[in-house]
Structure 1
Amino acid sequence: MVRRPPTASEAASRSTAALFSNELLLNGATFPAIAFWRPPTGTNPTVVFLPGGGHLARIAYGHPGANPRDFVDFWLREVGWGLLAVSYPCDHPAFPRLYPEMTVSDWGASVAAIALDLLSRCPAPCQVVVAGWSMAGRVVRSVCHGLARGGLPAMGVISLAASAPFPGLVPVFEKGEPVTETGLWDLSAHEPGLPTRHSNWCAELAAQSADNDRVIIPEDVYRRDYRVNTPLLLRGEPQFLRSRSAILSVAQVTDELGTFDYGSHPLTGVIAPTRPSDARHALTDPLTWGFLNAQQVFERHVSGCRDLSTILPQRWEQLRSLMFDLPRRLTRTVSGGHFFFVGERGAEATVRHLTNLASDIASLQAEVSAILGSQTASTNGA
């Protein structure tokens, strides 16, 4: 018997049924997204949370029946901050169709459009901080550009073990990344003799549960309610594009991510894990993002100065000290691996560091402006 395809109304009904009661299926810049939206108290900031590869943004607010204290949403609410957690379209049943060729720019435009619409309902002055986990480090620049164009520049970005926009930082399989029959990045596939990404993530979550003396996300719930397959281009790496029979080059990737357009990157605070299970982020995130921060400050604040040879020696030494201190000043750590922000202990610490880093980013920008003072010939943006 041949089954007819579902009608639009049937697909929409199934999509709605797949959502949690606190979620919305919204469209932003023609792309759908699952959105969790909890406004802030008064004029406090809102965190726009973006998930990594293979995951819905539920990792920031949990599932029905979960202990709310195990997720950053609870602790943000405790300090009066809002949360907008946005999940990209994937193979979760909430989405009526797939978007296997969605790009980083597409994702950024979608998130920005959704955020601008929802945050417009908050009392002025509206403040926003963009937080990206893992793969989402590739899209935060695009999101911030969209927010700024819409009249709502972000206070800054917070990296939660996020991959900076440099090709080669994300592990790849030797024979290329596997895709599902529908063209999405297959995150349950593996090379012979190596564990799958899914099994590694399960092990990381189990470690977080052990740290908190309780199961945070049961494995069956994790597989059903959190884990998805992802549009491949969102990972921001050179790769073979199956559907186009072409190669995405390093040059194309760096152009998409704006890697070398240093002045266009937002200042980024780093919250890094500590365990060898997430060695790259634990060991390199402060300096990788610190490099971008240093170049951003130079391009936006220093390069426009009229004549640095006339700067007072004391101010020059202050500027040198500030620049050398950037990685330490804008870095915090939380005990754990790649999921360090899941579980009561890690979630509370993450929110404490996030709110402090947002203040530190604002203070740092003010200090640079004060040091340079009349040296600045023009304003390049903040």
Structure 2
Amino acid sequence: MSEPAARSAATLFSNELFINGGSFPAIVFWRPPTGTNPTVVFLPGGGHLARVAYGHPGADPRDFLDFWLREVGWGLLAASYPSDHPTFPRLYPEMTVSDWGASVTAITLSLLAPSPEPRRVIVAGWSMAGRVARAVCQGLARGGLPPIGFISLAASAPFPGLVPVFERGEPVTEAGLWALSADEPGLPRRDSNWCAELAAQAADNGRLIIPEDVYQRDYRVNTPLLLRGEPQFLRSRSSAVSVADVTDELGTFDFGSHPLTGVIAPTRPSDARHALTDSITWGFLNAQHVFERYVSGWPDLSTIDLQLWEQLRSLMLDLPRRLTRTVSGGHFFFVGERGAEATVRHLTDLATEIAILQAEVSAIFCNQPIPTQ
């Protein structure tokens, strides 16, 4: 075994794989579903490995999504992008959202290829992973595995400006990665905030979930800066990423290409933006998705049956309510037994609701004769 390969193997958990997806490696947890149940493709946020979905050796498995997904027979494929974790033999500071999407797509298709038909997946992303939802869902669809949709776990929608950006540029490590534990004058360290959030989850559950030393060693990493999907000055290469660059990378205004998204939002002021705005922010994209995919191509809407038109209007107005659920907690609401169980319950429910909505909209237009030009 080569030295880099030996180092990678030594730092993996026993239930993890080190897989190359396209041009980029990833730490991957893969547990197939029971029978033909769906698989959740889980993508982590900035500064974290996907271990937040399945835990560390010695942890109580009930504190993580994987346990509850297993309970209902669903699979889990959790993929960690390259970072400065010692598993990775080299760093990838220039990795983009498109690179991330292509890597996850390749890994998912390769692992699910031997699975029995029908192979069904739903993509779930936490925090920064909202930026890559479109790229992964498009890639899977092109690969012959169209996902049910996307589930936002306090995920940032693909709009510039939703994530704070320092005017002087984000702090980076010497290697050019986003330094999430760096001190910024007048601002609390991000990892201190995260530790406080995890402490709150522990208090909710009446027991310690992830010891702080284990969290810093086995969960926390520094991240390729471009994955955060914000316009910014890049200290690592003395250049800037503009709003135009970001919207092009994320496909922000290509509304029809975004997946139909179910929202699971936190409730606490410690994660105020997600708690207060996720339902409407993702709801905007959902409405535009339905309009572009089903409505805009209709040759003459004046010919639509009025009863069906009213059904369509009611459905569109009701989209945010039907596709939003909440779980008590802050940014880590899905960690800890109570939050993990509730999150899986909502996730499986939202997957069903997404499919029902798609069928309802299709039925409205399939029942209509296509007008002649």
TM-score range (shorter-chain normalised) is over 0.9
TM-score calculated relative to the size of structure 2 = 0.98
Partner of 1:227: 220
Question: Contact conserved, 2:172 with 2:236, CA < 8 A, in 1?
Answer: no
| Contact 2:168 2:233 survives alignment (8 Å) | no
Q: 5+ residue gaps in structure 1?
A: 1-7
**Could you say which residue in structure 1 is the equivalent of 2:299?**
306
Mapping for residues 234-249 of structure 1, pairs under 5 Å = 234-249=227-242
Tell me the equivalent position of 2:65: 72
Q: Structure 2: 5+ residue runs without aligned partners?
A: none
Contact 1:59 1:226 in 2 (8 A): yes
For this pair of structures, how many residues does the alignment match?
Answer: 371
Please provide the CA RMSD for this pair. 1.1
% identical aligned pairs: 82
In the other structure, the counterpart of 1:5 is none
What is the 5 A alignment of 1:1-382? 9-375=2-368
1:80 maps to a residue whose letter is: G
One-letter identity of the residue aligned with 2:97:
V
Q: CA deviation at 1:368?
A: 0.5
Work out whether residues 305 and 368 of structure 2, in 8 Å CA contact, stay in contact via their aligned partners in 1: no
Cα distance change of structure 1 residues 376 and 31 upon mapping to structure 2, 3 Å threshold: farther
Distance 1:234 1:193 in 2: 25
Seen in structure 2, the aligned counterparts of structure 1 residues 87 and 301 have a Cα distance that, compared at 3 Å, is: same
Paired letter, 2:12: L
- The letter for the 1-side match of 2:203 is A
Aligned to 1:4: none
Secondary structure of the structure 2 residue equivalent to 1:62 = coil
Deviation for aligned residue 1:375: 4.1
**Contact 1:23 / 1:34 at 8 angstroms: preserved in 2?**
yes
Is the 8 Å Cα contact of residues 305 and 376 (structure 1) preserved in structure 2? no
How far off its partner does 1:377 sit? Answer: 5.4
Distance 1:277 1:171 in 2: 15
CA contact (8 A) 2:165 2:232 kept: no
- Paired residues of 1:301 and 1:376 also in contact (CA < 8 A): no
Tell me the CA shift for residue 374 of structure 1. Answer: 4.6
| Residue 230 to residue 314, structure 1, CA distance change in 2 (3 Å) | same
Whole-angstrom distance in 1 between the partners of 2:19 and 2:247: 29
CA contact (8 A) 2:84 2:91 kept: yes
Deviation at 1:244, TM superposition (A): 2.9
Deviation digits for residues 4-37 of structure 1 (CA, Å, limit 9, x no counterpart): xxxx811211111000000000000110000000
Structure 2 counterpart of 1:312, one-letter code: D
Cα contact 1:308–1:375 (8 A) shared by 2: no
- Once residues 193 and 112 of structure 1 are traced to their aligned partners in structure 2, the CA distance between those partners, rounded to angstroms, is 40
**Secondary structure in 2 matching 1:367:** helix
Deviation at 1:85, TM superposition (A): 0.2
Tell me the TM-score normalized by structure 1: 0.96
- Which is further off, 291-300 or 245-254? 245-254
- Distance across 2 between alignment mates of 1:314 and 1:170: 42
One-letter amino acid matched to 1:272: A
Superposed CA deviations along residues 176-206 of structure 1, whole A, max 9, x for unmatched, are 1100001000000132122110000000000
User: Do the aligned residues in 2 keep the contact of 1:305 with 1:375 (CA within 8 Å)?
Assistant: no
Distance 1:316 1:259 in 2: 28
3-state SS of 1:214 partner: coil
Contact 2:33 2:75 in 1 (8 A): yes
3-state DSSP class of the match of 2:2? Answer: helix
